[in-house]
Structure 1
């Protein structure tokens, strides 16, 4: 008679432990409004710079460059390095285009960022260089969930 009572109680403890782990991984992050300007150079042709703004959620104590990547793209960050307030990283994408990029960001004491990323790719059989500059300022908090 005691066994049926112990099993639901034990299962409840496991459920509580699992849920506690789920809640522990959720953090209050920093919501940053980022303005990015993209300049594209193709062989003997320049596309006028395009500026757009969006809000991204990043880790509360450091900037996560993964947040800058376009949703739906198959991109990954490697060679991530921090040296004081400077972050350097490499981006490789396989979709929607094959892209290799190098980025550098500078964190500011107020939680903002600025920096740039230089990407190289091929379009219609021609080399394309894409230069993106970033300016970001903190605008609030958000629910941050680390990538991966």
Structure 2
């Protein structure tokens, strides 16, 4: 089957890589928990698919010693083997994989004595059909416990997870999908991830920055699912509602009225009478119009509220004046002269193309 015309080459390459990853796991079965020696094979694989091909690749892989044909059937997470059939030194099977690398396929394997094997895999991924052929030849011994494809993959994943965990919590929080969830690559490191991320749930400045990020993303129509702190907190047992409730209580106790104005709407009315004009001028001006106007008339010395003010209420008065000035400027009509009406000659020229 040919790929659809709209399919991009990069997508086809990704599909091919999925199948190659399966091929690389050919010897990952058998005694996967067995320590001790194994057999080292040099494996050559080739890929064919409509509109795209990969050159032959050769790599070495460590498999269980004395592995049989069944031990060579590839296995991956979220994949199952159906219709396994064995006849002499040959086996055939079907495979179904779900999740982000979903695919269906079938394979055949043939043992070539104790020192080799060969086979083929046919797969359908994202509506595309591919064929991978491979052949393995034994070249020596290896330590299966540390050199098997699964052991090497686990070591690489562990290294990547540890490198991510070395980042500060604020930088790590966007990688929540790597540590929490049923398909998380670093699920074993979830406790360490949560230990670094959950303290941010009580950091009011950090939470305000997340709110601003959410607002900007919503304004631009961006999808932030799985990429925000709220997802990371939820994965660590702290739903968004719980985080905000505790943060609002902390802001109320500490007099952080700017935080209340941004994230605690139920506390705004009660906070208008408590907020200090000089510590929270923006909160009062934005959310408490009646009180802000009363303070301005009583303590700001210029009737227009636009002059620089000194004294105990100077910070509030100057912020109030700046806000009034901005509102006044925003309300003024454009100072640009109106567009000149085209003359009759110009209009006729446009009609006849002159």
- TM-score (norm: length of structure 2): 0.29
How far does residue 108 in structure 1 lie from its aligned partner after superposition? 0.5
Within a 5 Å distance, the mapping from 1:46-125 to structure 2 comes to: 46-61=51-66, 62-63=68-69, 64-66=71-73, 68=74, 74-122=78-126
Matches of 2:80 and 2:89, distance apart in 1: 22
Matches of 1:57 and 1:78, distance apart in 2: 25
How far does residue 54 in structure 1 lie from its aligned partner after superposition? 1.6
Q: Render the CA deviation track for 1:40-96: whole Å, top value 9, x for unaligned.
A: 22xxxx213432112222222214235x567xx643434333321112222222244
| Residue number in structure 1 paired with 2:222 | none
Q: Render the CA deviation track for 1:102-122: whole Å, top value 9, x for unaligned.
A: 110111124211110000121
Higher strand share: 1
Matches of 1:82 and 1:29, distance apart in 2: 23
Matches of 1:77 and 1:114, distance apart in 2: 19
1:128 aligns with 2:132: no
Matches of 2:120 and 2:95, distance apart in 1: 12
Ranges in structure 2 where 5+ consecutive residues have no aligned partner: 1-32, 151-354
Length, aligned pairs only = 113
Larger-gyration structure (1/2): 2
1:144 aligns with 2:108: no
1:39 aligns with 2:54: no
Matches of 2:115 and 2:54, distance apart in 1: 26
Matches of 2:43 and 2:81, distance apart in 1: 19
Instruction: Summarize the Cα distance change of 1:101–1:115 in structure 2 as closer, same or farther, 3 Å threshold.
Output: same
Residues 39 and 50, structure 1, Cα contact 8 Å, conserved in 2: no
Divergent runs of 4+, >4 A = none
Larger RCO (CA within 8 A; separation ≥ 6) = 1
Higher helix share: 2
Ranges in structure 1 where 5+ consecutive residues have no aligned partner: 1-23
- TM-score (norm: length of structure 1): 0.63
